[in-house]
Structure 1
Amino acid sequence: MSTMPDSPSTPRTRFLGRQPYAETYDAMRRFTAGRQPETPDELWLVEHEPVFTQGLAGKAEHVLAPGDIPVVASNRGGQVTYHGPGQVVAYALVDLRRLGYFVKEFVFRLEVAAIQSLEAFGVVGFRVAGAPGIYVNLADPLTARLPAGPRPDPFQGLGKIAALGVKVSNHCTYHGLSLNVAMDLEPFSRINPCGYAGLRTVDLATLGIRANPDDVAGLLAERLAMHLSR
C-alpha cells in the first residue's frame, strides 16, 4: 500500500493494490462506522480479484451465468456489475456535511473526475440521462458524444466505460466508481451490466488506448481529490 501526500483540506489518498472485494467492503464499513467529526476523508484506489457485486436495487435475473466468479451482495446503490484486474476502482470515503453538498452533487463530482481522466487520454466520456455512469460513442470515441438521430434504444452505439454506485451513512459516503482500463471484458457478458440487457461494456484498450492501470489510478485520484476537497 502507498499513500499520496495530503493536506487538511484534501482527502488522504491510499493506493491499496490488488485486494479481494469482500475484505475491502468490510474495511469501508468499519472505517465509516468508526468515523468522528474530525476524521479526515479518504480515497482508496484498488484493483479487485474477479467478482460480481450486486447493489441494493439488484435483481437476481440480471446475473445470467456467473460461473466460477463469486457474486457478493453489497449495500451500494445500483444493480450488478463486475470488478476485475485491469480496472481501476476508486472508493470515496468523505463527509458530505463537512464538504457542504448533497448526494446528487457528490455523484456529479465523481462523474466529472472520470470524464476528465478520460480526456487526458483523448477519450470523450459523457453521461446518459437516467443511467448513472460514463459512456463513449463507439463509432468515434475520441471526438463524438451521443450518436446523432433518433435512437429507440438509448444505448445504441454506446459503450459503458465507468460505473458508479455509492452508499451514504450519517452523511458519510463509501463505495464510488470503477473505470475500465485494460481488462478481460468477457465476464460482463455473464450479466446485464447495471441492469441493462445488451449494454456493451468497454475499456480504454478496446478504444485503442494503451494505458497502465496504475497510471490511470494516479490520474483519477488527482481529479477526485481536486473535486472532493474543501
Structure 2
Amino acid sequence: MSHPMHDEIEWRVSEGLVPYPAALSEMEDRAAAVRAGKARELVWLLEHPPLFTSGTSADPAELFNPMGFPVFEAGRGGRYTYHGPGQRVGYLVLDLEKRGRDIRRFVHSLEGWMIDALGELGVPARREHGRIGIWTGAGAAEAKIGAIGVRVRRWVTMHGFSINVSPDLSHFGGIVPCGIAEYGVTSLAALGKSDAMDRLDVALERTFRSFINSLSDISQAA
C-alpha cells in the first residue's frame, strides 16, 4: 500500500513479510536514486521474517541464536537487532542535504517521533541516557520497546527504527539486544495493547509531520 504523505516523500506500507535482502537492496537503490535526484524520499513500514541483523559495532559474543535464525550484516550503526513478525520496522530514505546535515539531530528527532507515536497509543515511552533505543516502564518492569539503527551515505539516510507490537519476545533471547543485557524487552501486546499494528501506523503517520518539520527547522536556521 502506498500513498503520498508529503510532496517530496512517499509513504509505503507493505503487507506480509518482506525478505531482508530484498528490502536492503531496494533501500540502497532508492537512496542512490534520491541522491541523484531521480526519486522521492521514502518512509517504508514493513515486517520481516524472524532474523537478526548485525551493525558495525556487533560483538559475536552477543549472538547465541539457538533457533538458527538467519543473520544479515546491515551496514547500519549499532550491534545485534532482532526483526520478526509482529514488529513494525520503519525504513527511512530521507535527504539530509536539504534537512540540516545534522545526523545527531536526525537521530534525536527520530526518537522523538517514536515516543510521540507510542504516546498516542497511551504508552509513555522515553529516551534513557547512555542507552540506545526507546524505553518504557519503571523498576523491574523497565524494558526496551523500540530500537534505532541508521546509516547515512552522501547525506541520505537508510535503515531506521523498529517498534515491538506483538512479536514473539522469546526470539530476542538469541542475542543481547543492542548490547544491553541487564534490561528486558517488551511490546505493545505485553503492555495490554491488542491489535495495535494498524493503530501504530496511524499514530506514526499522524505524528510524522512534526518529525519532518523538526529536521526542516534546523535547515532553515542554518
TM-score when normalising by structure 2: 0.89
Alignment partners' CA distance in 1, 2:25 and 2:33: 12
Aligned to 1:21: 20
Structure 1 residue 50 displacement after superposition: 0.6
| CA deviation map 1:172-218 (0-9, x unaligned) | 00100000111111111111000122431100111112233133123
Aligned to 1:59: 59
Alignment partners' CA distance in 1, 2:38 and 2:64: 44
SS of the aligned residue for 1:227 comes to: helix
Aligned to 1:150: none
Please tell me whether residue 176 in structure 1 is matched to residue 163 in structure 2.
no
Aligned to 2:169: 185
Amino acid at match of 1:73: E
Overall identity of the aligned pairs, in % = 33
Please tell me whether residue 136 in structure 1 is matched to residue 120 in structure 2.
no
Structure 1 residue 111 displacement after superposition: 0.8
TM-score when normalising by structure 1: 0.86
Structure 1 residue 225 displacement after superposition: 4.3
Amino acid at match of 2:31: T
* Structure ranking higher in helix proportion: 2
Alignment partners' CA distance in 2, 1:221 and 1:84: 22
| CA deviation map 1:52-108 (0-9, x unaligned) | 111111011110234231111110110001111111011110000112241111111
Structure 1 residue 22 displacement after superposition: 1.6
Alignment root-mean-square deviation, CA? 1.7
Question: What is the number of equivalent residue pairs in this alignment?
Answer: 212
Aligned to 1:93: 93
Aligned to 2:29: 30
CA contact (8 A) 1:88 1:178 kept: yes
Aligned to 1:207: 191
Structure 1 residue 158 displacement after superposition: 1.7
CA contact (8 A) 1:204 1:211 kept: no
Aligned to 2:220: none
Aligned to 1:151: none
CA contact (8 A) 2:101 2:155 kept: no
Alignment partners' CA distance in 1, 2:27 and 2:113: 21
Structure 1 residue 38 displacement after superposition: 6.1
CA contact (8 A) 1:162 1:177 kept: yes
